[in-house]
Structure 1
Amino acid sequence: MSLPLLPGRECGGCVECCRVIPLSLPELSKPTGKLCAYCVDGAGCSVHAIRPQTCRTWFCLWRVVEVSDDWRPDRSGVILRPDGLEEGRMTLFVLRRTEFLDSPAFRTTVAHWIAEGFEIGLSVPGPVGTLPVRAVVTDWLRPATDADDPVAFQSRLTAALDQLDAHEFEPDGVIAHYAVA
């Protein structure tokens, strides 16, 4: 998928995708949840000029859609995954529970997406080397968003995240190797 990037939106020191996205390429393999060996935490890719094509073309939706800077993954703890956007799906990959999840900016944006007809998925990472889990929560969150009830929204969000965290995570099967030249 190739969506246009918003001008002025740069990854900067955010390296969350370099940590959580699994890669299994001939030139680079890393398990889910392990920071890429070429990545400098808080600074970015040390082989940026010659990074694999996958790394050149994958961007979280913070770089693509009009959301506040608070949504930047290293600040929010949430990666907006691009897969499914063109089909009306939005996946909120909750890396860690932060105060942002209880903010009006988070709640009103999710409520807006639900009102616009997007399917909202929540996803959470498992231990290093395991695949994340995902669940569609649109209908679960809708009563709270329709009522504009922040307490009910937070309660339902927390319950959904608790259920996902309790899931049995499957190994991703990726064996790390680094050969970018």
Structure 2
Amino acid sequence: MTSLPLLPGRTCGGCVECCRVIPLDLPELAKPTGELCAYCVDGAGCSVHAIRPQTCRIWFCLWRVVELSDDWRPDHSGVIVRPDGVEDGIITLYVLRRSDFLASPEFFMTVAGWIAEGIQVALSIPGPVGTYPARAVVTDWLRPAIEDGDPAAFLARVMRSLDTLAEHDFQPDGVARRYAVTTQDGPAA
């Protein structure tokens, strides 16, 4: 995947959710899905930022790419808007935790706008550490509540989807921890 153009002036700040949820299986860095990278300082960012692997350099959530309010920042919203699938017209909302944001008018209006534009919407949730997430395209399931302009029915459908996803048989990702990012002086601390 190539990096999408980032919004000028928008930075991750203290958000490190991608450093937790994204699985990595590289020669110099491997971490299971859902485990905070050992090089990450929670709430501060990457301790090896200048020499981080290329995969880490090019992966950004869509909050860094599209005009979404600060409320959408993953550590605030509990939702990572994943970039995978965008080229195919699918936006995946990776729900890290159920938050008040899911019941907000902004969440409803944004998702409704995407669906009105013909974009498919998927919901995804993490499984236990070391397992792949569950994911399902929910566009047609959400559409009736959106067409009725009914945020309460929309939220009920989102929550029911998350409940169904939580029943998923989560599969192990098979990634064994390996931390070997190196500097000129040897392995990074």
**TM-score, normalized by length of structure 1?**
0.99
SS of 1:143's partner is: helix
- 1:68 lines up with 2:66 in the alignment: no
Pairwise CA distance, 1:84: 1.1
Cα deviation, 1:87-142, whole Å, max 9, x if unaligned, reads 21100000000000000000100000000000100000000000001000000000
Partners of 1:144 and 1:61 in 2: CA distance: 25
**TM-score, normalized by length of structure 2?**
0.95
Partners of 2:146 and 2:60 in 1: CA distance: 28
- 1:37 lines up with 2:52 in the alignment: no
Pairwise CA distance, 1:2: 2.4
Pairwise CA distance, 1:43: 0.2
SS of 1:18's partner is: helix
Pairwise CA distance, 1:58: 0.3
What amino acid maps onto 2:170 in structure 1? Answer: F
SS of 1:151's partner is: helix
Partners of 1:156 and 1:141 in 2: CA distance: 6
Partners of 1:114 and 1:94 in 2: CA distance: 18
Residue pair 2:92, 2:121 contacting (<8 A) in 1 also:
yes
Cα deviation, 1:54-108, whole Å, max 9, x if unaligned, reads 0000000000011111000000000000011122110000000000000000010
* Number of aligned residues: 181
Q: Which residue of 2 aligns with 1:103?
A: 104
Partners of 2:89 and 2:178 in 1: CA distance: 35
Partners of 1:178 and 1:9 in 2: CA distance: 29
What amino acid maps onto 1:64 in structure 2? Answer: V
Pairs within 5 Å for 1:1-181: 1-181=2-182
Larger radius of gyration: 2
Partners of 1:32 and 1:100 in 2: CA distance: 24
SS of 1:75's partner is: helix
Deviating runs (4+, > 6 A) in structure 1? none
Unaligned runs of 5+ in 2: 183-189
Pairwise CA distance, 1:34: 0.3
What amino acid maps onto 2:53 in structure 1? Answer: P
Residue pair 2:3, 2:60 contacting (<8 A) in 1 also:
no
Q: Which residue of 1 aligns with 2:187?
A: none
Output the aligned Cα RMSD: 0.6
Pairwise CA distance, 1:168: 1.0
